[in-house]
């Protein structure tokens, strides 16, 4: 019985002190625009909410987009091949 109790205690402690499995959301830290590889900026939305709405418009027409929080503010980014189509799509609205 004591061995089972120690085994359960070991498993519980391993789970409690394991790294990388936090239930608390991490704070978003801004980065520089060049940390996003080949993605290019389409526009700089006023807020994250506006950015999400613009991103959804691009997703609706099949353009993959990333909303990035950079040190220069919020940026909506796409792949270079989609840049012209993304600008046309957002100009229509």
Tell me how far CA of residue 65 lies from CA of 43, 53, 70, 73, 77, in angstroms.
11, 11, 15, 16, 6
Architecture of domain 25-91: 2-Layer Sandwich (3.30)
Summarised one tens digit per residue, pLDDT across range 27-38 is: 777 788 778 889
* Average pLDDT estimate for 9-34: 78
In this prediction, residue 19 has a pLDDT band, given cuts at 50, 70 and 90, of confident
pLDDT beyond 70 at 65: yes
Whole-model pTM: value is 0.66
For the chain, the structural domain boundaries read 25-91
Structure letter (DSSP) for residue 73: E
User: How much is the average pLDDT of 7-32?
Assistant: 79
């Amino acid at each position: 019985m004591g061995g089972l109790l120690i085994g359960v205690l070991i498993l519980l402690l391993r789970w409690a002190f394991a790294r990388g499995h936090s239930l608390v959301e991490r704070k978003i830290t801004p980065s520089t625009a060049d940390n996003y590889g080949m993605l290019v900026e389409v526009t700089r939305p006023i807020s994250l909410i506006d950015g999400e709405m613009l991103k959804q418009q691009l997703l609706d027409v099949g353009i993959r987009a990333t909303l990035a929080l950079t040190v220069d503010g919020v940026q909506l980014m796409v792949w270079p091949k989609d840049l012209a189509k993304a600008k046309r799509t957002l100009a229509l609205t």
